[in-house]
Amino acid sequence: MATQTYKQISVLTMSTLAFTVCFAVWVMFSIIGIPIKANLGLNETQFGLLAATPILTGSLIRLPLGMLTDKIGGRIVFFVLMVCTVIPIYLISMATEYWHFLVLGLFVGAAGGAFSVGISYVARWFPPQRQGLAMGIFGAGNAGAAVTKFLAPSLLVAYGWQTVPQVYAVGMLVMAILFWIFTYTDTSHHVPTHVTLRQQLAALKDPNVWKLCQYYSIVFGGYVALSLWMTKYYITEYGFGMQTAALLAAIFVLPSGVIRAMGGWLSDRFGAHKLTWWVMWVSWICLFLLSYPQTELVIQTTKGTMSLHLGLNVWVFTALLFILGLAWGFGKASVFKYISDQYPTNIGVISGIVGLIGGLGGFVLPIMFGAIVDLTGINSGIFMLMYGVTWVSLIWMYLTEVRTVPMIKTANTDTLE
């Protein structure tokens, strides 16, 4: 009979691998969407909608899936979820019209709901002092976006974009079978049956939950949005080919996913607040620099005109993007450490709510990116938008967590005669 330690390791390992596959599928359109865009003659906003459509479904179902996981356990929910996406993934290879891709994208997007299932399933197998690390390791499955950056362009160039969903469908089916074989169920992890749906949803009235949603809309929603957008950004801004652009985009995507495990360890050691506070400041600085557009400056001098080019070259841009990815990787872990610390008996629901809002950020932002580029023609406008969103989180965190005394001190009337 398997020991408790073996079960913990097996559940964590298989859940992380399964989430990696699900995430790779979730952001598939970031690569195959580029030739589809060219074939169908889509504009930037339409491409943004195409890439983001799976994100919508994966976000909306996170809350109900988190609640279902609390009730009946993560193993069965995770397995059924993966199996249900296999056919829609394969059918993408047969789609020919824009609406075909949008409809199938909605079904394929269910794979993104795996996060709220897995985070609750994994966390309950570990004691509180180790939950941050366990959830961080599981969350490293975000690196599935990097798998797509490496694998999908090679398949696309060698065999055509239709091969990508076909391979992914087979991969998802195999992963579902392996997950079922090597994971376990512990009924003591389930929420007691006397806890009602209304009691579970009472968390929606908690303003602290919405604050965590705001944080996660940046560190996760922004990560998903840029994962979908960066390959095309490198192509249009710096003129790279598909494979080179995807490889450079992976410099942002892969570390941000993998480093999440270390973010969980740091959250356990130093606390969720300290880590998140520094994450927001690093993000704010990087996004400010990334926002600057390529600029030709003409200066009138006594000897005539002088031209200066101001803007980030590809190496400086990529270095800043790499740092931003690391910061968001830490932030994704620290936000969920907040959840396990503050809501230990309601992890599934709270993680579902926070994951839903964060995922919606990943859906809305690519569409807004496309609209900004269509309206202004400025590629770096996408970072200007993210810079503003980060400001909101910094201010909110300062007012509710950092500042501990009133901004305007009142007189102590007890000392007045």
Q: Report residue 300 as tokens.
A: 């009138």
Of 112, 126, 117, 125, whose CA–CA distance to 67 is shortest? Answer: 117
Of 26, 198, 188, 30, whose CA–CA distance to 111 is shortest? Answer: 26
255 or 118, higher pLDDT: 118
Specify the pLDDT at position 24.
93
197 lies in some domain: no
Split into its structural domains, the chain has a count of 1
Looking at residues 387-401, what average pLDDT do you find?
Answer: 88
222 lies in some domain: yes
Provide the domain limits for residue 17.
4-185+204-403
Mind giving me the DSSP string for 348-412? Answer: HHHHHHHHHHHHHHHHHHHHHHHHHHHHH--TTHHHHHHHHHHHHHHHHHIIIII--S-SSPPP-
17 lies in some domain: yes
146 lies in some domain: yes
**Cα(284)–Cα(292) distance, integer angstroms:** 13
Query: Over 50: is that where the pLDDT of 408 sits?
Result: no
Most confident of 12-26, 121-135, 297-311, 358-372: 12-26
196 lies in some domain: no
82 or 213, higher pLDDT: 82
Where is average pLDDT lowest: 18-27, 45-54, 230-239, 340-349? 340-349
CATH of the domain at 63: 1.20.1250.20
348 lies in some domain: yes
410 lies in some domain: no
Specify the pLDDT at position 81.
95
**Cα(132)–Cα(267) distance, integer angstroms:** 6
**Cα(132)–Cα(334) distance, integer angstroms:** 8
